[in-house]
Amino acid sequence: MARAFAILLAALTLLAGVGHARAQGFGSRDIMGGDPYFWGGGSSPIPRTLVSYGSNYAPGTIVINTAERRLYLVLQNGQALRYGIGVGRDGFRWSGIHRISAKKEWPGWTPPSQMLARRPDLPRHMAGGITNPLGARALYLGSTLYRIHGSNEPETIGQAVSSGCFRMTNDDVADLYNRVSVGTTVVVKN
């Protein structure tokens, strides 16, 4: 009974914090599009699927096709796991080959100086948590400013809304996070 009460109290405290954040007029839609107050990431409008995938990439490689708005995790025997993703909006798409340089659960977010120059109203740092625009997990891409990260905004999957990062539902990014390691090759095709 005491544990249930503690959980209820924690949930109410979080909701009070969300209301306070909303009252201040700031949300991650202001940063990258979407509504930060949707908890859990919901199910993707583009379900994760096992597909045939003929390629010369080694199993374990991540291939991002920005035109398709899909991320492929190459598996053995000519197959891949295909995930729906959100990509960079016009002017923010890029291509290249990098490696995952770090993995973080519930990462904090510090807007890069380029983003702050465009949006000086943004916070200088947001602690990790349910209202953070990076969602539940983040995979950092080399020394770039870009990440494959979660989102609490499932409606943005399949859309071009970010500043160059690749967003997934929290469920999908957690699944990918558990399948790959630091050093994994990431190929971005634009």
At 62-77, the pLDDT tens digits run 999 999 999 999 999 9
Per DSSP, 136 falls in state T
The residue among 43 and 174 whose pLDDT is bigger is: 174
As a whole number of angstroms, the distance between CA 136 and CA 149 comes to 8
Ramachandran angles phi, psi of 168, nearest 5°? -135, 165
33: pLDDT strictly greater than 50: no
pTM check: above 0.85: no
* 165 has catalytic annotation: yes
User: What residues does each domain of the chain span?
Assistant: 27-189
The answer regarding whether domain 27-189 maps to CATH 3.40.50.150 reads no
| Catalytic annotation, pick one of 20, 98, 125, 165 | 165
For the question of residue 20 being annotated catalytic, the response is no
Distant-in-sequence, close-in-space partners of 100: CB < 8 Å, separation ≥ 6: 62, 139, 140, 141, 180, 181, 182, 183, 184, 186
pLDDT at 45 over 90: no
Q: Is the pLDDT of residue 44 over 90?
A: no
